[in-house]
Amino acid sequence: MAGGWSQIMPATEEVQRMIDQVTCQIFTANSYQEQVVKKGMNYCIKVEIGGNCPGSLYMYVYREPKLTDTIWIPLSEICEASTLPFPLDKIKQHAEDRTGKKYDIFKGINYKTLLTRNVGYTNYFIKVQVGEGEEDYLILRVACAVTLVSNPTLTNLLGNKTLSDDIEYFE
């Protein structure tokens, strides 16, 4: 049945074979999500880059029974939350509603953006401190149209994060 993305799973040999078919074998599959669609499967695969360009990126792969299309959409470098084009106050209430908690602290730490092909539209992945404890951090996914910077939309969040957790792509 077609639907949303699966949970993130460790990469399998089959996922690595998909990566090997479209690269020069300098990428190593790390983890992935899958999504059932009408005529096949979508995969979002986190790959580690080897060679002279260490790092990681995300590859989107559509697969019928064979690899047919690949779109690369990496996250940006990490940025300080003070450079966000909108105040976090605009989404605090939405985060509280989503988690069912009230936050006395709601302090942006840093963020990455999803580099998309959609001109004028950006997804921000923002790490926010919401308490004094070790796991009192959230990572928010916030969508924002360039023309409506004053109106960001919380699309999802991950809870129980730590200051040292990486900001990674999630749906």
List, in sequence order, every beta strand (DSSP E) within 3-131: 9-10, 27-37, 40-49, 55-63, 67-72, 79-80, 107-114, 121-129
- Pair of tokens at residue 171: 């749906």
**CA quadruple 170, 32, 55, 61: dihedral, nearest 10:** -100
pLDDT one digit per residue (tens) for the chain, 171 residues: 456 677 888 888 877 776 666 544 456 777 878 777 766 777 777 777 655 455 666 666 666 645 444 455 568 889 999 999 889 999 999 999 999 999 999 999 999 988 654 556 788 999 999 999 999 999 999 988 766 667 899 999 999 999 999 898 887
* Phi and psi angles of residue 160, each rounded to the nearest 5 degrees, phi first: 55, 40
Residue 10: which of 29, 26, 27, 25 has the closest Cα?
29
Written as one string, the DSSP assignment of 117-150 is SSTTEEEEEEEEE-SSSTT-EEEEEEEEEGGGTT
What does pTM read for this prediction?
0.59
Which 3 state secondary structure label does DSSP give 97? Answer: helix
* Phi and psi angles of residue 2, each rounded to the nearest 5 degrees, phi first: -70, 150
